Amino acid sequence: MGAAAAAEVYLNSLSSEQKVRSDAYFEGNYWLTLWNFLWSSAVLLVLLHGGWSARLRQTAARITRRPMLQATLYWVGFITVATVLSFPLTVYAGYIREHQYGLATQDFGGWFGDQLKSFGLSVVMGGALVAVLYAVLRRSGRTWWVWASVVTSAFLALMFTVGPVYIDPIFNTYRPLRDEAVRQPILRLARANGIDATEVWEMDASKQSTRISANVSGMFGTERITLNDNLLKRGSPEAVQAVMGHEMGHYVLNHAYKMLLSFSVVVVIGFAVIGWTYPRLAERHRARWGVEGVADPAGLPLLALILGAYLFVLTPVINTIVRTNEYEADVFGLNAARQPDGFAEAALLVSDYRKLRPGPWEEAIFFDHPSGRTRIFTAMRWKAEQIPAQNRPAK
């Protein structure tokens, strides 16, 4: 059987109902991307046109004369108002819709608790970023957009570094994986690929979702190997090995550093766009918005509006950057774990929320991972070319 025919066997193993539900969910995300952009843009315009942003800046100035504290206090007010105004769409996209498609396991209280945690992190970490960012803007003159790019890129590097160790455990419990039948093959696979790991971590993702996931994440010494309990419950040992081989590919191929570099370039270009657009819009609407200049925290909604529009237009480019890395990790994982059927099984498991058979342009524009069809065909082609027929396990 050829690779294409073998892939079709896997693709046709799902029922029509499963395929229809998967397509409907994933295609709905296209519209959610648009609605998120329009809704957030409307919120930002309300803050500007309604004078709320200027009033938040004035309130912060009355509380303290320290510019960095003013920026931080402004941020607290800004993120609070923006979160409240965006909450209806957040509830629909993050809670109602996930339950409609059978992907969520949390009740509303648990989900809302996680939202409060996210909000708290946004207040603290966003406040620190905004304080530093506006301190730089006040001192950097005409090259402000260059230094803003540097600050933002440094913040991204910080998030890549501390996220797996200090932020992710706020939402889930991490514990060492105790099942030696699963743990030891993962550690052997890691050592075979130059990853000096001594522990594998399991996280309780099933309390929130039915999705499977794993990662070898972190930077600058904070790396860790993690897989979620859904993968352990739903995937065969071969699928677990295939997924972990893929994740180790990200680590060995230095994708975290490459992604940081790519996103930093995106950020630099984005701030260059802001540097050209912001002064013109701020000056044109100065009387109504009350924004004094780029170093005025009251202009943050305008900065976010321009950056949001830029990133929305750039969505296909960003998706392609990520998808290319994912495909490289797919190939690495197949060579490392040598589990093509396990890899195909994993591709079917994520088809709960990822469309299996998109058109070529659809995949190029909207997919930040290779489609299920692409992944399964890649696995079957690898199997046909790399594993002699007499050595293949019986299916």
Extended strands (E) in the chain = 174-176, 200-203, 214-217, 224-228
Helix/strand/coil for 294: coil
Q: What angle do CA 240, 242, 247 make, to 5 degrees?
A: 95
Q: What is the pTM of this model?
A: 0.92
Model confidence over 276-324: pLDDT tens digits?
999 999 999 999 999 988 999 999 999 999 999 999 999 999 999 999 9
CB atoms under 10 Å from CB of 130, counted, come to 21
Q: Could you tell me if 392 and 383 are in contact, meaning their C-beta atoms sit under 8 angstroms apart? A: yes
Q: Could you tell me if 346 and 339 are in contact, meaning their C-beta atoms sit under 8 angstroms apart? A: no
Model confidence over 144-171: pLDDT tens digits?
999 999 999 999 999 988 888 889 999 9
C-alpha radius of gyration, the chain, whole number: 23
Read off the DSSP letter of residue 164.
Answer: I
Determine the pLDDT at residue 282. 93
Positions in the chain short of pLDDT 50: 390
**Which amino acid does the sequence have at 291?**
V
Determine the pLDDT at residue 390. 47
How many Å apart are CA 213 and CA 164, to the nearest integer? 14
Determine the pLDDT at residue 224. 84
Determine the pLDDT at residue 141. 84
Model confidence over 127-149: pLDDT tens digits?
999 999 999 999 988 899 999 99
How many Å apart are CA 136 and CA 120, to the nearest integer? 24
